[in-house]
Each structure stands twice: as structure tokens, then as C-alpha cells.
Amino acid sequence: MNQNQLLFKDAIRADYWQLANRNLLAKIFSEFMYEELIETKIYKLSDDSYEHHLVINRDLKYIFTASPRIFGSWQVIPESICCINKNSKSSELEVSNFIASIYQQIGIDGLTVGHLIRELNHTLIADCHLLANPQNINQHLLALESAAELEGFMRAHPWFIVNKGRLGFSYDEYLRHAPESANLQQLSWIAIKSSCAEYKAIKNLDYKKLILNELGAEEIRKFDTEMNNFGLNPEDYFYMPIHEWQWQRQIIQLFAKEIALKEIIWLGKSSDYYLPTQSIRSFNNQTNKSKFQVKLPLSIFNTAVYRGLPNERTRLAPLLTAWIKEIFSQDKFLQQTGLIMLGEVASINCPHPVYNQLQGIPYQYQELLGVIWRESVSNYLASDEKVITMAALIHIDNENQAFIIDLIASSGLSINQWLEKLFTIVIPPLLHWLYKYGVVYSPHGENTMLVLDENNHPKRLVIKDFIDDVNISKSDNEALMNLPDELTKVLYRLPDADLAQFIQTGLFVVLYRYLSDILATYACYPESQFWESLYQVITKYHSEHPEFATRIEEIHILKPQFKKLTLNRLRLLEVGYADYAARPKVESTGMVDNPASKFSWGNWDEKRFSIIDKKVS
């Protein structure tokens, strides 16, 4: 048991458990109201807040205070929540009791609610461990030099109520592998016969060059000796890392024949130490930070899907990187923005010999074995720069302080000035990719990073996770005409209006909805001012690029409304915990006002209170 495990051994205790339940219940109320899964009776208070009564039945109701926010969201005050059961008032809260009391009213079936409560408890245990970490305070987080270290303090997806479920991990496995444990890990390695796998890479990165970079000559000799002891020729095999959990829980059982025939050989651990990211399956090298990030399949169920690596996408990741990098290298505007594109430069894909031939089977069985190597952001940073996950901008520490407030304070800039710098480095490159090339990324907090200068001023944007989240336009343009045929089979081609959704939802809803809320809550910074500042940066780019006027009009990213996606509703009412043949797609449920539209932010206060007043009892 390492130091962090010793530190956390008493994390599941009454005070942390109660606080974790209270905080998660506040999130559930907020997100369920946003997704219209629950409806409350609203009573106006003396200030800009409202008392909500959530009536479960004639004997049971929950009361809490909340302030209205952009997108029709509510900022629920956790300390205000109380439960009234048969006229007995209690401030002791338990998420599972709430779900058990309301699931039928919402329309959740029994199978789903059974798994949901388990996943909620996994999430609560992880929250307890975050609360138990005395270093989870902004003063410490701001002093961290490593983005990989900062990852371990994050609270995971801000929208999903089950954001740290990690179904499949035992508690001991959770302590070893979860990012909040900050457990330095050595990766396990196997040899797989080259006839059973396929190596792909960008130009000038052959297999031997990559493995020499990742393992070094001494480690390779050690593995070669192990292979020779089996009477095998190392030249007939690929060496590849594998997650220890995946080996123990999936590969031994499902690739038993290949192991028996010595087509797969267990080699042991390499010497470098890694830290996992929020995605659990990606690892940053801490022994040598210039080495590649390693992305491995991990067949646990987390947030919404099993975290494997789809066969075809794993195989084609380097080809997509090469195509994206070629465009980037010839576009002066993108280069001038300072944008960093972290390419997925090499991969080994190992399809299962039986499962890969079957149609309609659960998708998790076609994502079992492989690896993707991604560039390290460290190789792009100047000596006076550091990088943080964009998710840190919405982090609240254990003293209930907002990381963004302390970050801006340390910069010497006003909130206005800091936000303008942030929007200026994030928005133009995303729009440029969309308008000029018909390419969108999914720029939520875990897929993007923020480079800061020595004064903690926003300086550059980092985009990663291409093969999973790149989508392209159905409209033809020169760049898409040069798209390799193999990529057209795996990339989603969408109407331009749907492409805009990746920015509107992936950035505006999944990140900026929470960031504007935090600034309003902790700094009394008006949300309308936040969104007006964003609007100004968008329109500035539009005015400076008249050559895209037709595309700008067709895509209409500033339209007054866009589709409202509902992630929790998808899980609770539509897909549950069934094993599907493909990863589930989120469908829209109505429309939501676009606060980046001048139409929306210009009369937002009036509209907000008009809607609320109709509901006030």
C-alpha cells in the first residue's frame, strides 16, 4: 500500500460521506431540473434566489435554495438542502434514499435504478477520497508544475451525476488505478505475435524507433531475453503496454488460446512511472515527461460507456493525425494562434479472432486489446509556460473555493481581461477548423488543455483525442476531398448545423455553463457579461474573415437557440445499463437558448425572470 493509499484509508467516514452526499444531491437537483426530469414548486425569496420544494409524495419532500443561471440552469446551495418526512425535518441526506423515493416518478425502470444506485455509491466513495485529501486546496494546486498531478484532484465530468462510477473496479483496484489516488504506476507489457496485430504510425515512426523511445535499449534486452527463454524470436512479435486490470480481468480469459499457443506472452512491468488521467485509461509518463502519453483499453463502465479502444479507430488514429497535421502545417492562421494539436502518432490494434467476426455483439468485446501513443504536451512548452487541464477552470477545492478565482487573482488581471484572453485563444482556432475545413473537435474540459504563461495568463489552446471525437462536414471542401478513403468509413459526416453543436454543447454547455455559474457565485460576475465577452470574440473573428461569410451564415453558431442534449436522461430513461452493439448516441430533447447569441444575452435577465415568475407559487 503506497503513501496515498495510507493517506486515504480512512476516507470513508461519516463527515465525508454526509458532505459527499449533500454535494452530489445538489448536483442531481440542478441537473435534473436542467434536463426537466423533476419539477419543483418555486417560492421567491428576498434576494436573487428562490426556495424550491420538490414534492415526492404526501409525506416526503425536499426543500432547497437555488439561484437562476444561464441556459435555464439553477445553482443549488448544498447547505440549504433539507428533507421533510412526515413533518420531521432532517439535514442528514443520502443520495440512494432520494433515488429510491423518486425513480418511479421519473420513469426509471427497476433494472436501471438497481445499477444506478451502485454507480452512485462508487461515485460517492471517490468523492470521499477527494475530500480526504488535504492537498486539494487551491494554494497547493496553483503551485503544481505538472498537469498530470493536477488531473488527480479534478471532480470528473461536471454534467453526469455518475461521473466516477468505474464499474468493474474492486475497492483495492480503485485505490491503485483511480487518478485521485495519485498512485505512480509502472505499466505492464506483453508481446503479441505480429500476425495477430497491426502496427500503424505516422511517417518516420516505425515500430523499432517507437519501442526504443518508450522502453530504451536495456529494457528491450530484458524483454528479448524473456522471449528467448520461451524459445521465441522477438522479431516475430510486437511489444506493447497493457493495463494490469485488463490483463487480469479480460485478456487472460478471452485470449486464452493465444496465450496457450504463445502468441501472447506476459513480459512484466517496464521501469518508467506513470500517472492516470481523468479518463482512467490514459497515462502520462512521469519518469520522462517527453515520452508519449499511453492510451489503453480498459473494459470498465465509466460515465456512459465501456472504456475500450474500438478496433478500426485504433488502427486509423495515426492516419487521422497525419491528415490533421498536414492541414495544420499549411495554415498560417492556426499556427499564429499558438494552437497545439496533440497527435495520436502510433497504435497497435489486436482484434479478437472470434468476436471481430460477429455482428450485433456488445461493442465492449470489439475494443479489448490495443494501444494508442499520443504526443506529450511537454514537448511543445517553452520554459516559461505550464499547462493545466481545462477542467481545472471549474474546480472547487476542499475549502469550497473556486480554482478559477484564485487563478485569475494570481494573474494580476481583472476577470474581464482574463476571460478575453481565454476566449481569444480558444474560440478562433475552433471556428477556423469548422468554417474553413468542416472539421470539429469536442472541446470539453477533458479534451482540451490551457497553456499559461509565467503570470498565469491564458496563452495557448491544446486539443487532443482526435480519433474518438473528430467529426466532419457533409459539405464538400478541398480539405475533405483529400480525406483518405479509410477515414471516411469511421468519421461521422454531419450537417453543418450539427457540427456547430459540438462547440455549442461541447464547449458552451459542458464547460462555459459551469464557468459562468462559478464566476457569478464566487465573484458576483454577471453571467450576461461573461457571454457578451464571448459573443464579442466570436463576432470579431467573423468580421476579420469575410471569406467565410457564407459558411458563417449557414452554420449560424450564434443562432438564438440550439438543440438541447440531455446526458443523464439518456442514461436513466433511454439506454440504462444494457449491452449495445454500438456506443449510444445522445439525442436532443427540445431546444435551449444560446447565450452566445446577442439576441439571448441581450434580454436574458428579462427572459429568465419571466420564465421563472410563471412557475413561482
pLDDT tens digit sequence for 144-191: 988 999 999 999 999 999 999 999 999 999 999 999 999 999 999 999
Residues 272-297 have pLDDT tens digits of 999 999 999 999 999 999 999 999 99
3-state SS class at 348: strand
- Mean pLDDT for all residues in the chain: 94
Question: What confidence category does residue 605 fall into, taking pLDDT thresholds of 50, 70 and 90?
Answer: low
Contact 437, 479 (CB under 8 A): yes
Residue 503 pLDDT greater than 50, yes or no: yes
Residue 6 pLDDT greater than 50, yes or no: no
> So what's the pLDDT on residue 475?
86
Residues 194-222 have pLDDT tens digits of 999 999 999 999 999 999 999 999 999 99
Beta strands 471-473; 492-494: pairing state: parallel
- Cα–Cα–Cα angle for 494, 351, 368, nearest 5°? 85
Overall size of the chain counted in residues: 617
Q: Tell me the helix, strand and coil percentages in the chain, rounded to 5.
A: 50, 20, 30
Question: What confidence category does residue 10 fall into, taking pLDDT thresholds of 50, 70 and 90?
Answer: confident
CA torsion angle 306 309 313 316 (round to 10)? 170
Count of C-beta atoms within a 10 Å radius of residue 321: 25
Please give the Cα distance from 294 to 272 (Å, whole number): 12
Question: What confidence category does residue 236 fall into, taking pLDDT thresholds of 50, 70 and 90?
Answer: very high
Question: What confidence category does residue 616 fall into, taking pLDDT thresholds of 50, 70 and 90?
Answer: confident
Contact 163, 216 (CB under 8 A): no
Please give the Cα distance from 450 to 152 (Å, whole number): 17
What are the residues whose beta carbons fall under 8 Å from the beta carbon of 44, sequence distance 6 or more? 50, 616
| Lookup result for grid cell 488527480 | 152
Residues 81-101 have pLDDT tens digits of 999 999 899 888 999 999 999
Alpha carbon distance, N-terminus to C-terminus of the chain? 55
Q: What is the mean pLDDT of residues 388-401?
A: 98
Beta strands 561-565; 492-494: pairing state: unpaired
Q: What is the mean pLDDT of residues 591-600?
A: 88
Which domains, from first to last, does the chain contain?
3-151 (3.30.310.280), 179-378 (no CATH), 390-615 (1.10.510.40)
What are the residues whose beta carbons fall under 8 Å from the beta carbon of 499, sequence distance 6 or more? 434, 438, 440, 471, 472, 473, 555
Contact 350, 356 (CB under 8 A): no
Name the residue type at position 374.
Answer: R
3-state SS class at 512: helix
Please give the Cα distance from 64 to 51 (Å, whole number): 6
| R_g of the chain computed on alpha carbons | 25
